[in-house]
Amino acid sequence: MKKVVIIGGGVIGLCSAYYLVKEGHEVVIVDQSSMDHGASYVNAGYLTPSHFMPLAAPGVMKQGLKWMFNSASPLFIKPRLDRSFLSWAWAFNKSCTAKNVSQSIGVIKDFNLWSAELFSEIKTSEKFTFQLENKGLLMLCKTEKMLEEELHLAKIAMDEGLEVNSLSTSEIQAMEPHANINAIGAIHYQCDWHTTPHEFMKEMQDWLLAKGVTFYKNERVDDLQISHGKIKSISTQKNTFTADEFVLAAGSWSHFLSRKLGIRIPLEAGKGYRINVDQHTGITIPAVLAEAKIAVTPMNGFTRFAGTMEFSGVNHNINPLRVNAIANAAGDYYSGLKVTEDEKISAACGLRPVSPDGKPYIGKSSKCKNLTIATGHAMMGWSLAPATGKLVTEIISEKKTSMPLDAFHPDRKF
């Protein structure tokens, strides 16, 4: 049994704690927030084998540059003259290649499929009640050009063994009879699942508390004391924590701490927004509004519209132009749906920790023997959390990992 301190109580930190406890380790979680907001709460709740395409793909940088002056666009990169942003942008640009795509697809897909199974296993074995449904995901297209692109991706998905089929307008309407969908066609990824994030986060926190995990909320880890290539202790303003092993699951803030150990993990915060729509929408199947790049999720009691990837540093400033763009897209694809001013005012955002090549960092750097890094999951952190937690636990327990970790190595070069 080891004593493990986890820095960060988002979904990655909680799932790591879950499997560590199951393995008999003693766990402490330290989080700078009240652990009820941020990326792990505002996300679209998808478990996404369908999102096998990494963000760093050919043409993405060019598109980002085109959209740079449009603050309502789905992808927005605000250029900054700081070293960490510039080196991330350089590495991201270098990763936007066909080679990165072909090396990533299979790995990302298998990781997602395994993690979805683990969500299901957790729900059954702990008798959790969080929403977990397998209705698949509709990629709704309004234009021929987008439909063609999506059909191309669907072909790759089928070659990868995923259950996918294309739908005509009437087939879409038959699947969603109570939502007036305005699309010329869709791809249905039957392999995808959806959840209501805050339900899972609450049940997991309660379970961990009941199992003796100690939480230190509203405490920011500022300092790490190191000796002979190992962390001796970490400190916040109020406490100092010692442990055998540490886990860095601090999301978009992780690189600020790893830097103190000389570990360079390029990371940028990709801000996303969500609007919860409480009015009845008739939407029962999750969808991605393909041209607008907005995710739509029928959650327990409301419909969530989530989207945009805004690289503008680590902040939670809400840009009303982006909120409006999401609300307008909702009305464009679902005729008759009007997001209210109250729903827009209640919009929230969260920061996705984005690595340059679209793959997370999972494992130990050669620079520190007792730190396991688990971050950089970008648009898939929710989906990949249980599998990541399991891998973190296998590393700390010195067991053979369930999948090879080379692609996720924190010391990899870009």
Ligand X SMILES: Cc1cc2nc3c(=O)[nH]c(=O)nc-3n(C[C@H](O)[C@H](O)[C@H](O)COP(=O)(O)OP(=O)(O)OC[C@H]3O[C@@H](n4cnc5c(N)ncnc54)[C@H](O)[C@@H]3O)c2cc1C
Which spans of this chain sit near ligand X (rule: CB under 6 A)?
7-13, 30-33, 35, 38-40, 42-46, 48, 220-221, 249-253, 257, 272-274, 295, 306, 350-353, 375, 377-383
The DSSP bridge partners found for residue 296 are 287, 305
Question: Please, which residue, 249 or 396, has the CB nearer to ligand X?
Answer: 249
Helix (H) or strand (E) holding 189: strand 185-189
Residue 36, CA distances (Å) to 127, 288, 354 in order: 22, 26, 21
Instruction: Decide whether 142 or 194 has the Cβ nearer to ligand X.
Output: 194
**Shortest spacing between CB 43 and ligand X, in angstroms:** 3
Judged by CB, which is closer to ligand X: 46, or 130?
46
Label residues 3-28 b or e (16+ Cβ within 10 Å = b): ebbbbbbbbbbbbbbbbbbebebbbb
CB 372 within 8 A of CB 396: yes
Residues 130 and 120: beta-carbon distance below 8 Å: no
CB of 66 to ligand X, least distance (A): 22
Instruction: Closer to ligand X by CB, 180 or 324: give it.
Output: 324
Q: Which of 204, 215, 269, 198 is nearest to 33 (CA)?
A: 215
Nearer to ligand X by Cβ, of 298 and 350: the residue is: 350
Q: How far is the CB of 169 from ligand X (least distance, A)?
A: 26
Q: How far is the CB of 162 from ligand X (least distance, A)?
A: 16
Reference 118, options 301, 330, 389, 369; nearest CA is 389
- The answer to whether residues 154 and 187 touch, using CB atoms and an 8 Å cutoff, is yes
Q: Residue length, the chain?
A: 414
Please say which residue, 38 or 185, places its beta carbon nearer to ligand X: 38
Least distance in angstroms from the C-beta of 27 to ligand X: 15
User: Least distance to ligand X from the beta carbon of 319, Å?
Assistant: 13
Query: What backbone torsions phi and psi does residue 307 show, to the nearest 5 degrees?
Result: 175, -170
Of 17 and 96, which CB lies nearer to ligand X in the complex structure? 17
Closer CB to ligand X, 40 or 95, in the complex: 40
DSSP structural state of residue 237: S
What minimum distance in Å lies between the beta carbon of 11 and ligand X? Answer: 5
CB of 29 to ligand X, least distance (A): 9
Q: Which residue lies nearer to ligand X by CB, 171 or 260?
A: 260
**Per-residue 3-state assignment (H helix, E strand, C coil) for 259-284:** HHHCCCCCCEEEEEEEEEECCCCCCC
Nearest distance from C-beta of residue 294 to ligand X, angstroms: 10
Q: Is 118 exposed, middle or buried (0-12, 13-18, 19+ CB in 10 A)?
A: buried
Q: In angstroms, give the least distance from the CB of 275 to ligand X.
A: 10
Choice between 29 and 174, CB closer to ligand X: 29
Tell how far CA 94 is from the center of its chain.
22
Q: Find out whether 356 and 88 touch, Cβ atoms under 8 Å.
A: yes
Say which DSSP state 408 is in. Answer: G
Q: Which residues of 85-112 are buried (b: 16+ CB within 10 A; e: fewer)?
A: beebbebbbebbeeebbeebbebbbbbb
